[in-house]
Structure 1
């Protein structure tokens, strides 16, 4: 069953666009390990927040991805850009009007 991870990442003031550039670098590794979508967004009304929507083949694929050296390195590079304010939610996708 498809797993969704939706969240907000608070950034150090003025570092939002740098985090966006980092998070949107191409990663074939994520696709190979079961990431179906990884969308990064911003809202000008909230200039120190990055929004992320992830869809995964299942929750285990998401959890396993966090152990990969490439992902661990990416997290380490992003950490200094983050303020520590995080939000979001996770859920199992049960359907969509866009696909069977």
Structure 2
């Protein structure tokens, strides 16, 4: 499996709209076992995205999906940058 945890920085006042865009545009991604978008309790303009995939190739392939491309295009104007990014190798757990 392949895991990814990343922090996304959002323009002030746009966090909830980007959160909705990401949740709506990332359904039905083949090979995705878990996709969690979370707010950061210490930073009002940040989101954390935690992903678990069957493989790194499945993750890369998701970026070409029309729904994912549309979500990226819609959210991009509100994204001001990225913070920490961690790749992981999930080995098990609930919901994966």
Alignment partner for residue 52 of structure 2, among 50, 55, 58?
55
User: Per-residue displacement from partner, 1:36-87 (whole Å, max 9, x unpaired)?
Assistant: 0100101231101001101001110001111122211111001011012332
Structure with higher Rg: it is 1
CA contact (8 A) 2:10 2:79 kept: yes
Partner of 1:21: 20
In the superposition, the TM-score normalised over structure 2's length comes to 0.86
CA contact (8 A) 2:7 2:83 kept: yes
Deviation at 1:97, TM superposition (A): 5.6
In the superposition, the TM-score normalised over structure 1's length comes to 0.83
Count how many residue pairs are aligned between Structure 1 and Structure 2.
95
Alignment partner for residue 71 of structure 1, among 43, 68, 72?
68
Alignment of 1:4-19 (within 5 A): 4-19=3-18
Determine the C-alpha separation between the residues in 2 that align with 1:75 and 1:52: 14
Partner of 1:41: 38
Determine the C-alpha separation between the residues in 2 that align with 1:83 and 1:47: 13
Unaligned ranges ≥5, structure 1: none
User: How much is the aligned-residue C-alpha RMSD, in angstroms?
Assistant: 1.9
Question: Quick check: which one's strand share is greater?
Answer: 2
